[in-house]
């Protein structure tokens, strides 16, 4: 009896080992036979943290400083040349925000504010905004998310095309609008530099925490990065495309709900956002050098249990490329294109839809990053 | 015929033979205390809130639509009742009443939402039911202190055997379920789950060896299939038990499976001999040489021929119970298609850790008369966990579709509503593929025992054995 069990064990284990070898033989020629996934997540995080995240926040800090400075000079010289300069600085800052919106974790949450909510809740609530202006509520830190940040500044300086300057000079809210513009841009810069300083090694040194742990448990740097990347991608798809397209509203387009409604830069902003998510995924540094990113880790993981001809990593790559090219095919302002050629917007949206299972489900599963937070027994 | 009857009566007299109660007492104490801790842990983790208060919609089990959650206070009260009754089972105070309370409260909570279905919760419900039928409080209990008449040192063999059988079936069927192509020859899904462990500081080198997931798959299968027998056999028992500890501690370390490993490590003690349990109990309770200790006899010989071969209602109930237990894991055979893909006959079958399955599901509600259509933002109605669980399980997709249909009908004044779903699922390392027929109006489909023809076939190259 005992011997019989022993031999059964040995035979079955032997068969198991052989099955492993035979599987390897079937692999295509261009792949190394002994594929062991040898990859350091901490190295990847170090590259992402130092070469992508910190430079992006540094850039946001600079562009918001430039915006703040320009706003301060604008209110002393209210003419159209000055306004154009201010609008340029605004667009630059808004574009640089698109590169950090997927980094809403760590210092972006733990310094007494939620970066995303304080900087970019759109569409702006014009009602709330007017209420603030009429009641002298010009302290952004005390105002609601829906009337602060980029959308509020945008409304102030793009608002009504014909009367922007008049609102600052002769309008009934002129004084408050000037004060609010200065305060809003100052607040935006404050928040940016707070996050930036919390990241850098000479400041709060969150970078040290970020690169120290290569694990995938809840709250680990990898988990935060992957979860926020997905959250931002969902925001991009839902808030910047799906809602304006009227997908939740019986197909009735909602042009006033686009991001960058007043500046008319919706497509440029969303393309910058998509590109920034893609570069983070690839690990492309702000300097342009290709480093290690989630893509490289995924290549490694996928090779480990490869089952299909097209790897998950490459499927994601080609999908991002498609999304980006479809976005560039949309003419700005999106709010007008929604009426003139809704289909091109829908095309970009559909490509994003295809990316969701790849990014949100398969990639997270491959990396073992949990979205579920209770016990499970794998079924 | 005569021999048949003879062997049946032999079996009956074997299972009714009186044996010492010691293993049952250990089982009662361990189960009660662990489950009491589990209920408290559940509350402390905030899961009562997340799973039974926050959701707006619950995925009911067919036939149990009438089971609804209570309000927040009510749900916390239920969990407190669970914690207290389990503790009282452990110490053996008002045992039968508390087993009944525990069984009902635990099972009630499990029936609220399919989302939270776990095999080990099902196991706990079954064990609680079995505890209802046995006098596990007849020794080392507060009941015996209060009502000395209840004291009983010998109990029918089946009162202990049922737990061994139940545990054995859990392992055995879990093992049989592992005999499939994905598990044995692709080492799926262990390969996926092991891959991130290459980042582990101490054991990364081990998990980066390609053969490791295959080794674990095969050993896991063999372990599950053979462990009940190795635990039953005296000569292998201690070694088998050590592997029980090893196996469950490893899974506890690697996966978020909560207290289940400890439940199993505690429960399988029941396979140990009466003497072993007596020794442990004497040591724990400090009662040396008490009347509870019986030397050198596993069962009582006097009283041996008294009516033991008789059927009793309890025995009949148990026979039916275990017969159903055997049928449940087999019912998938009645359905066409790949079991892991359709999940028809998947639950209540001890199919543990067999699949890595993820999906996305987009619902479209249509007014079939005027053509208006709405895409549904799932998270307006579901919690993230519910969305994840729903996305890979057709019966849940259908339930949610029906709910959405009714909601939109009311909200948007629709006479004739259609609900369609665009769904993609990735299973065991295969790239995502369409899951549900997007041309089917799910409002016209029923959730019954019949095969769901609107599940698209898994057309991949997977040559699964089953």
Query: pLDDT of A228-278, one tens digit each?
Result: 999 999 999 999 999 999 999 999 999 999 999 999 999 999 999 999 999
Residue pair A67/A184 in contact by the 8 Å Cβ criterion: no
Q: Are residues B204 and B105 in the same domain?
A: no
Distance of CA B132 to the CA centre of its chain: 18
CA–CA min distance B39, chain A (Å) = 13
| Nearest CA among B116, B82, B85 for reference residue B98 | B85
Per the structure, the count of domains in chain B is 3
Residue B234 inside a domain? The answer is yes
Q: Is the pLDDT of residue B292 over 80?
A: no
- Name the range with the highest mean pLDDT among A209-223, B93-107, B347-361: B93-107
Residue pair B102/B128 in contact by the 8 Å Cβ criterion: yes
Query: pLDDT of B132-185, one tens digit each?
Result: 999 999 999 999 999 999 999 999 999 999 999 999 999 999 999 999 999 999
CA–CA min distance B193, chain A (Å) = 7
pLDDT at A36: 58
* Average pLDDT, rounded, for chain B: 90
Identify the domain boundary among B119, B134, B156.
Answer: B156
Which of B:297-356 have CB within 8 Å of A?
A: 346-347, 351-356
Please tell me the least confidently modeled range out of A60-74, A292-306, B202-216: A292-306
- For residue B374, which residues of chain A lie inside 8 Å, CB to CB? 247-250
- For residue A37, which residues of chain B lie inside 8 Å, CB to CB? 195, 198, 208
Which of B:389-418 have CB within 8 Å of A?
A: 412
Determine the structural domain holding residue B333 and report its residue range.
157-272+311-341
- For residue A36, which residues of chain B lie inside 8 Å, CB to CB? 198, 208-210
Residue pair A310/B431 in contact by the 8 Å Cβ criterion: yes
Q: Is the pLDDT of residue B415 over 90?
A: yes
Residue B240 inside a domain? The answer is yes
Least CB–CB distance from A37: residue in B185, B198, B426? B198
Phi first, then psi, for residue B393 (nearest 5°) are -120, 110
Q: Is the pLDDT of residue B298 over 90?
A: no
Distances, alpha carbon A281 to alpha carbons A46, A86, A199, A324, in Å: 14, 33, 20, 14
Label the pairing between strands B154-156 and B357-367.
Answer: unpaired
Q: Would an 8 Å CB–CB cutoff place B366 in contact with chain A?
A: no
Q: Mark yes or no for CB contact B222/A9 under 8 Å.
A: yes
Q: Are residues B80 and B166 in the same domain?
A: no
Residue A248 inside a domain? The answer is yes
| Nearest CA among B5, B109, B162, B55 for reference residue B389 | B55
Residue B425, classed as helix, strand or coil, is strand
CA–CA min distance A180, chain B (Å) = 34
Residue B457 inside a domain? The answer is no
Q: Is the pLDDT of residue A152 over 90?
A: yes
pLDDT at A2: 52
Q: Are residues B198 and B263 in the same domain?
A: yes
Q: Would an 8 Å CB–CB cutoff place B45 in contact with chain A?
A: yes
CA–CA min distance A247, chain B (Å) = 5
Least CB–CB distance from B210: residue in A34, A216, A366? A34
Least CB–CB distance from B118: residue in A315, A364, A377? A377
Other C-beta atoms lying within 10 Å of the C-beta of residue B102: 29
Residue B464 inside a domain? The answer is no
Q: Mark yes or no for CB contact B51/A362 under 8 Å.
A: no
d(CA A229, CA A101): 9
| Nearest CA among A103, A111, A93 for reference residue A198 | A111
Confidence of residue A27 (pLDDT cuts 50, 70, 90): very low
Residue A179 inside a domain? The answer is yes
Looking at residues A98-119, what average pLDDT do you find? 95
Q: Mark yes or no for CB contact B257/A374 under 8 Å.
A: no
Residue B299 inside a domain? The answer is no
Q: Mark yes or no for CB contact A24/B210 under 8 Å.
A: yes
CA–CA min distance B49, chain A (Å) = 12
Residue pair A149/A119 in contact by the 8 Å Cβ criterion: yes
- For residue A13, which residues of chain B lie inside 8 Å, CB to CB? 215, 218-219, 222
Which has more confidence, B117 or B284? B117
Q: Are residues B321 and B186 in the same domain?
A: yes
Per the structure, the count of domains in chain A is 1
Q: Are residues B234 and B208 in the same domain?
A: yes
Q: Mark yes or no for CB contact B187/A20 under 8 Å.
A: yes
Which of B:187-246 have CB within 8 Å of A?
A: 187-189, 191-193, 195-200, 208-211, 214-215, 217-219, 222, 226, 230, 235-236
* Average pLDDT, rounded, for chain A: 88
pLDDT at B461: 44
Which of B:237-296 have CB within 8 Å of A?
A: 255-260
Residue A17 inside a domain? The answer is no
Query: pLDDT of A44-57, one tens digit each?
Result: 999 999 999 999 99
DSSP H/E element including A312: helix A312-328
Q: Work out how many CB contacts closer than 8 A connect A with B.
A: 174
Which has more confidence, A318 or A2? A318
Distances, alpha carbon B458 to alpha carbons A40, B42, B436, B437, B455, in Å: 35, 37, 10, 12, 9
pLDDT at B1: 46
Residue B300 inside a domain? The answer is no
- For residue A244, which residues of chain B lie inside 8 Å, CB to CB? none
Q: Mark yes or no for CB contact A20/B50 under 8 Å.
A: no
Q: Would an 8 Å CB–CB cutoff place B116 in contact with chain A?
A: yes
Residue among A249, A307, A360 with most chain B CBs within 10 A, to mutate = A307
Q: Mark yes or no for CB contact B188/A301 under 8 Å.
A: no
- For residue B50, which residues of chain A lie inside 8 Å, CB to CB? 373-374
d(CA B301, CA B308): 12
Q: Are residues B237 and B334 in the same domain?
A: yes
Residue A31, Cβ density class (10 Å: 0-12 exposed, 13-18 middle, ≥19 buried): exposed
Residue among A20, A39, A215, A354 with most chain B CBs within 10 A, to mutate = A20
% residues pLDDT > 70 (chain A): 86
Please tell me the least confidently modeled range out of A77-86, B47-56, B287-296: B287-296
pLDDT at B256: 78
Residue pair B114/B60 in contact by the 8 Å Cβ criterion: yes
Spell out the alpha helix ranges (H) of A31-79: 41-48, 54-74
Q: Are residues B21 and B110 in the same domain?
A: yes
- For residue A34, which residues of chain B lie inside 8 Å, CB to CB? 210
Residue A320 inside a domain? The answer is yes
Q: Is the pLDDT of residue A221 over 70?
A: yes
Other C-beta atoms lying within 10 Å of the C-beta of residue A236: 25
Give the list of residues 6+ apart from residue B297 with CB closer than 8 angstroms, or none: B20
d(CA B8, CA A132): 86
The single residue listed with the structure tokens 């959405």 is: B404
CA–CA min distance A216, chain B (Å) = 7
Q: Mark yes or no for CB contact B209/A16 under 8 Å.
A: no
- For residue B418, which residues of chain A lie inside 8 Å, CB to CB? none
Q: Are residues B210 and B133 in the same domain?
A: no
Q: Is A205 left (phi over 0), alpha (psi -120 to 50) or beta?
A: left
Query: pLDDT of A362-378, one tens digit each?
Result: 999 999 887 644 455 43
Q: Is the pLDDT of residue A61 over 80?
A: yes
Identify the domain boundary among B156, B175, B209.
Answer: B156
Identify the domain boundary among B156, B183, B201.
Answer: B156
Q: Is the pLDDT of residue B125 over 50?
A: yes
Determine the structural domain holding residue A170 and report its residue range.
41-367
Please, what's the b/e burial string for B119-146 (b: 16 or more CB within 10 A of its CB; e: otherwise)? bbbbbbbbbbbbbebbbbbbbbbebbee
- For residue B430, which residues of chain A lie inside 8 Å, CB to CB? 307-308
d(CA B443, CA B465): 34
| Nearest CA among B343, B210, B245 for reference residue A16 | B210
Residue A363 inside a domain? The answer is yes
Q: Are residues B128 and B184 in the same domain?
A: no
Q: Are residues B20 and B150 in the same domain?
A: yes
Residue B48 inside a domain? The answer is yes
Other C-beta atoms lying within 10 Å of the C-beta of residue B308: 17
Residue A279 inside a domain? The answer is yes
Confidence of residue A24 (pLDDT cuts 50, 70, 90): very low
- For residue B236, which residues of chain A lie inside 8 Å, CB to CB? 2
pLDDT at B97: 97
Output the pTM of the full model: 0.89
Query: pLDDT of A205-214, one tens digit each?
Result: 999 999 998 8
d(CA A271, CA A242): 15
Which CATH number covers residue A281? 1.20.1420.20
Residue A29 inside a domain? The answer is no
Looking at residues B411-440, what average pLDDT do you find? 94
Q: Are residues B334 and B409 in the same domain?
A: no
Q: Are residues B324 and B187 in the same domain?
A: yes
Number of H helices, E strands in chain A: 17, 0
Nearest-by-CA chain B residue for A40: B199
Least CB–CB distance from B211: residue in A17, A238, A374? A17
Distances, alpha carbon A299 to alpha carbons A117, A363, B7, B91, B211, in Å: 34, 11, 62, 55, 19
Hey, which residues does B423 pair with through a beta bridge?
B361
Residue B417, classed as helix, strand or coil, is strand
CA–CA min distance B458, chain A (Å) = 15
Residue B67 inside a domain? The answer is yes
Q: Taking the CA of residue B227 as centre, how many other CA atoms within 13 Å lie in the half-sphere pointing to its CB? A: 30
Token pair, residue B2, equals 């005569």
Angle value at C-alpha B9, between B4 and B15, nearest 5 degrees: 130
Least CB–CB distance from B431: residue in A238, A308, A353? A308
Largest alpha-carbon pair distance within chain A? 100
Query: pLDDT of B206-256, one tens digit each?
Result: 888 889 999 999 999 999 999 999 999 999 999 999 999 999 999 888 887
Residue among B180, B214, B233 with most chain A CBs within 10 A, to mutate = B214
d(CA A223, CA A327): 28
Residue A374 inside a domain? The answer is no
pLDDT at A26: 38
Residue among B173, B183, B218 with most chain A CBs within 10 A, to mutate = B218
- For residue B197, which residues of chain A lie inside 8 Å, CB to CB? 368
Spell out the alpha helix ranges (H) of A141-173: 149-158, 164-169
d(CA A98, CA A321): 18
pLDDT at B203: 86
Token pair, residue B428, equals 């065991």
pLDDT at A17: 45
Label the pairing between strands B154-156 and B18-20.
Answer: antiparallel
């Amino acid at each position: 009896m005992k011997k019989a069990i022993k031999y059964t064990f040995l035979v079955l284990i032997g068969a198991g080992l052989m099955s492993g070898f035979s599987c390897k033989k079937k692999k295509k020629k261009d792949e190394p036979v002994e594929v062991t996934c040898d990859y350091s997540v901490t190295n990847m995080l170090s590259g992402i943290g130092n070469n992508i995240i910190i430079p992006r926040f540094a850039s946001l800090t600079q562009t918001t400083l430039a915006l703040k400075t320009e706003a301060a000079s604008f209110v002393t010289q209210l003419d159209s040349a000055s306004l154009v300069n201010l609008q340029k600085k605004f667009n630059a800052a808004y574009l640089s925000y698109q590169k950090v919106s997927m980094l809403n974790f760590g210092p972006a949450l733990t310094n007494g504010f939620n970066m995303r909510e304080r900087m970019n809740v759109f569409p702006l609530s014009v009602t709330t905004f007017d209420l603030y202006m009429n009641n002298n509520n010009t302290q952004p830190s005390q105002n609601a998310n829906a009337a602060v940040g980029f959308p509020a500044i945008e409304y102030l300086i793009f608002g009504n095309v014909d009367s922007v300057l008049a609102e600052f000079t002769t309008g009934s809210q002129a004084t408050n609008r000037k004060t609010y513009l200065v305060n809003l841009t100052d607040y935006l810069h404050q928040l940016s530099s707070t996050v930036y300083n919390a990241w850098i090694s000479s400041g709060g040194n969150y970078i040290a925490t970020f690169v120290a742990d290569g694990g995938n448990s809840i709250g680990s740097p990898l988990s935060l990065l992957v979860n926020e990347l997905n959250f931002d991608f969902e925001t991009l798809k839902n808030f910047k495309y799906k809602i304006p397209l009227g997908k939740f509203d019986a197909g009735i387009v909602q042009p006033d709900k686009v991001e960058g409604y007043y500046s008319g830069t919706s497509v440029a902003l969303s393309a910058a956002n998509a590109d920034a998510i893609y570069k983070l995924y690839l690990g492309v540094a702000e300097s342009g050098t290709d480093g290690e990113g989630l893509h490289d880790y995924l290549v490694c993981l996928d090779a480990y249990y490869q089952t299909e001809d097209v790897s998950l990593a490459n499927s994601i790559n080609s999908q991002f490329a498609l999304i980006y090219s479809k976005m560039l095919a949309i003419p700005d302002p999106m709010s007008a294109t929604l009426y003139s050629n809704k289909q091109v917007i829908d095309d970009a949206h559909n490509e994003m839809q295809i990316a969701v299972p790849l990014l949100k489900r398969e990639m997270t599963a491959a990396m073992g990053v949990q979205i579920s937070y209770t016990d499970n027994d794998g079924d | 015929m005569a021999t048949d009857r003879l062997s049946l009566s032999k079996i009956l007299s074997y299972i009714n033979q009186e044996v010492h109660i010691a293993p049952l007492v250990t089982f009662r104490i361990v189960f009660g205390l662990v489950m009491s801790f589990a209920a408290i842990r559940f509350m402390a983790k905030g899961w009562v809130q997340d799973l039974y208060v926050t959701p707006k919609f619950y995925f009911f089990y067919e036939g149990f639509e009438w089971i609804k959650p209570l309000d927040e206070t009510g749900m916390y009260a239920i969990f407190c009742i669970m914690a207290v009754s389990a503790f009282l089972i452990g110490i053996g105070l008002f045992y039968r009443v508390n087993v009944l309370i525990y069984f009902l409260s635990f099972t009630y909570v499990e029936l609220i939402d399919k989302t939270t279905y776990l095999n080990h919760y099902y196991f706990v419900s079954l064990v609680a039911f079995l505890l209802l039928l046995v006098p596990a409080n007849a020794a080392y209990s507060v009941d015996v202190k209060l009502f000395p008449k209840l004291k009983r040192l010998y109990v029918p063999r089946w009162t202990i055997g049922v737990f061994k059988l139940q545990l054995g079936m859990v392992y055995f069927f879990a093992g049989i379920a592992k005999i499939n192509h994905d598990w044995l020859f692709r080492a799926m899904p262990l390969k996926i789950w092991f891959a991130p462990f290459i980042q582990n500081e101490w054991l990364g080198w081990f998990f980066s060896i390609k053969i490791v997931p295959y080794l674990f798959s095969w050993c896991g299968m063999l372990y599950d299939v053979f462990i009940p027998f190795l635990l039953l056999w005296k000569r292998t028992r201690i070694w088998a038990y050590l592997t029980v500890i090893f196996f469950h501690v490893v899974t506890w370390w690697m996966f978020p499976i909560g207290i289940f490993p400890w439940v199993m490590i505690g429960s399988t003690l029941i396979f140990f001999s009466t003497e072993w349990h007596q020794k442990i109990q004497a040591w724990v309770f400090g009662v040396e040489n008490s009347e509870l200790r019986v030397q050198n006899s596993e069962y009582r010989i006097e009283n041996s021929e008294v009516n033991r071969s008789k059927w009793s209602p309890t025995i009949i109930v148990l026979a039916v119970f275990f017969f159903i237990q055997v049928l449940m894991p087999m019912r998938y055979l009645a359905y066409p298609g790949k079991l892991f893909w359709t999940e028809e006959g998947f639950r209540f079958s001890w199919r543990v850790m067999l699949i890595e399955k993820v999906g996305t599901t987009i619902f479209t509600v249509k007014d079939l008369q005027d053509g208006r259509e709405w895409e549904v933002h799932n998270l307006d109605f579901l919690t993230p966990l519910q969305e994840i669980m729903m996305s890979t399980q057709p019966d849940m997709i259908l339930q949610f579709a029906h709910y959405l249909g009714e909601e939109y009908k009311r909200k948007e004044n629709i006479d004739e509503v259609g609900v369609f779903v665009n769904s993609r699922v990735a299973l065991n390392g295969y790239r995502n593929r369409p899951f549900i027929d997007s041309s089917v109006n799910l409002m016209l489909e029923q959730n019954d025992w019949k095969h769901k023809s609107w599940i698209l076939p898994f057309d991949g190259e997977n040559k699964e054995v089953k």
